[in-house]
């Protein structure tokens, strides 16, 4: 397991899904996310479970041969809103930072603009 928390990893995975959705108008598949995020399979599945439970993504989870496989359908409007919504006041954290337990140094705007990397 990685040293980052489940919520941190889930936030980074959701952002990656958002960026691909925004740029390519598609969602990445599980293997693409494994390659992009460099998370191990367990951490990625846990992150996707978190995003699914929070209704930030829609996905089907199938069990061929007893193995859980995620088929990501889309990022939801809740997923987009949590990423794009700014803080209500300059002194507050963005809803994304609060939900995924990121400190104020995590600059989502830079990531969305392609100026910083997630992983």
Q: Give the pLDDT of residue 101.
A: 87
| Strand, coil or helix: 58 | strand
Taking CA atoms, 40 is separated from 2, 34, 45, 107, in Å, by 8, 7, 9, 24
- Could you tell me if residue 94 is inside a domain? yes
Q: Give the pLDDT of residue 1.
A: 43
CATH of the domain at 67: 1.10.10.10
- Could you tell me if residue 114 is inside a domain? no
Provide the whole-model pTM.
0.88
- Could you tell me if residue 118 is inside a domain? no
- Could you tell me if residue 69 is inside a domain? yes
Query: What pLDDT digit, counting tens, does each position of 20-50 carry?
Result: 999 999 999 999 999 999 999 999 999 999 9
- Could you tell me if residue 73 is inside a domain? yes
Domain assignment of residue 79, given as a range: 6-104
Averaged pLDDT, 74-90: 94
- Could you tell me if residue 119 is inside a domain? no
Please state the domain count of the chain.
Answer: 1
């Amino acid at each position: 397991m990685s040293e980052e928390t489940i919520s941190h990893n889930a936030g980074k995975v959701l952002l990656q899904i958002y960026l691909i959705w925004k740029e390519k108008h598609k969602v990445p598949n599980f293997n693409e996310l494994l390659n992009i995020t460099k998370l191990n399979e367990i951490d990625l599945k846990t992150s996707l479970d978190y995003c699914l439970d929070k209704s930030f993504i829609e996905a089907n989870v199938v069990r061929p041969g007893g193995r859980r496989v995620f088929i990501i359908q889309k990022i939801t409007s809740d997923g987009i809103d949590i990423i794009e919504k700014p803080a209500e006041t300059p002194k507050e954290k963005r809803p994304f930072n609060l939900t995924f337990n990121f400190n104020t140094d995590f600059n989502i705007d830079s990531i969305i603009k392609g100026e910083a990397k997630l992983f």
